[in-house]
Homo-oligomer: A and B are copies of this chain.
Amino acid sequence: MTRQELLTRLAQGNERRIVLLVLDGVGDLRTADQPRTALEEARTPNLDELAARSALGRLVPAGTGITPGSGPGHLALFGYDPGSPDADVGRGVLEALGLGLDVPPDTVVARGNFATVDGAGLLLDRRAGRIPTAEGRRICGLLARRIAADGGVLGDRVEVEVHAGEAYRFVLLFRARAGTAPLDSALADTDPQQLGVPPLPIEAIGGDAARETARRIAPVLEVLQRELRSEERANTFLLRGFSRLPSLSGIGELYRLRAAALAGYPLYRGVARACGMDVVDCGKSFGQVLDRLEECWADFDYFFLHVKGTDMAGEDGDLAAKVGVIEEVDALLPRLLDLGPDVLAITGDHSTPAPMKAHSWHPVPLLLSSEYCFVDDCARFTEAEAIRGAVGTIPSSELMGLLLANAGKLGKFGA
């Protein structure tokens, strides 16, 4: 019996409310040049006061030394094993979710780059000179009209959609026409990752179903590529990350939760939806998230709140900006506490240390507040304090069970 199966067996619904507040990438580093982390640097009277009557600990998102993307980072926080194939959210799907697109489970998604080839069809630029977003949109418009001209169906009965992203990026969605065999996503990238060679033809990396899908999709790509011939820079495209939305059991059925996601950015809404949460529309600031939280407080008993600013500041290497986001969250924290959540966890999906300007593998500090959390000796919500917290250092994927336990939502195991 897996841990998730055991939790499902023990889950017993009740009215108590759990809030998981994810400060994306909040974990940071002490280095020679940056002696204090953003959490240490920030003035956080409300978090300090809460930490003093809470349990701290640390979450390891995807295993020691493993740097997770946003998909695995969040799936782990929602109780899934981010290493299991079931929970593998491919890059194509993530890109589509990030654009706010709905990705039905039977849809194969690829992430595209517009690119430049010479007269002989050899790659000159894998990003088409980083064309601006408006240019990418214009070209996607061309492709969309071509698709519409065939009634939305190209190749061997494949429904196709194209959506522009930032700059030279776009996504393609493929779905088998009703009554035909479903498409498989075990397809290799067509991006050869080098210049002076032609784009790769589409090829299966899986079995028969994938080979059949490659055969059906190949003519789609030919038609679309022909449409770009007269473009100056974006005269071809490269596809990567063919994938489908993982078919996960929703956390509603797994844990008897009525779960809501309040996230300002589409990627996180998409991952939450893939986990069976209801997505509550809200703005990007923590204040806007709280506005909606207050409105829907009666309707759910598990709330995933997402704050993006910490990660963005970390990616920019901007410690002061990260400190600012944390202080903004701290200032608004009383509004969250006034709702009286029975269990409140504050943590991140991974660390994004400012000195690294990137996601990292470092454990993420966790603050756990509930009537029965065990009040430990940690005085502040920081990385270093969290090392000696009562929760210890545990995999992120174990957090869900801990939240359920603290909310009295798990029965006893064995007699």
Contacts and interface: CB of A to CB of B under 8 A. Distances in A.
Interface stretch (A99-107, A136-144, A168-176, A384-392): A384-392
B64 A394 contact: yes
A375 B413 contact: no
The DSSP consensus for interface residues of chain A is loop
Contacts of A66: 6-7, 10, 401, 405, 410, 413
A174 to B, nearest CB: 19
Contacts of A362: 372, 374
A341 to B, nearest CB: 15
A370 to B, nearest CB: 10
Determine how many copies of this chain the complex contains: 2
Given A66-B405, A388-B387, A415 B90 contact: yes
Nearest to A356: B372
A325 B388 CA distance: 29
A83 interface: yes
Nearest to A398: B64
A353 interface: yes
A88 B69 CA distance: 35
Contacts of A95: 415
Given A65-B402, A71-B415, A414-B88, A30 B374 contact: yes
Contacts of A82: 413-414
Top-5 shortest CB links A-B: A65-B401, A65-B405, A69-B414, A64-B398, A72-B414
Given A6-B66, A63-B401, 8 more contacts: A3-B63, A67-B411, A353-B372, A356-B372, A360-B372, A387-B390, A388-B388, A392-B393
Interface of A: 1, 3, 6-7, 10, 29-32, 35, 53, 58, 62-72, 82-85, 88-91, 94-95, 241, 353, 355-356, 359-363, 371-372, 374-377, 383-384, 387-390, 392-394, 398, 401-406, 410-415
10 contacts: A1-B85, A7-B65, A67-B405, A67-B411, A68-B414, A69-B415, A360-B372, A360-B405, A361-B405, A383-B390
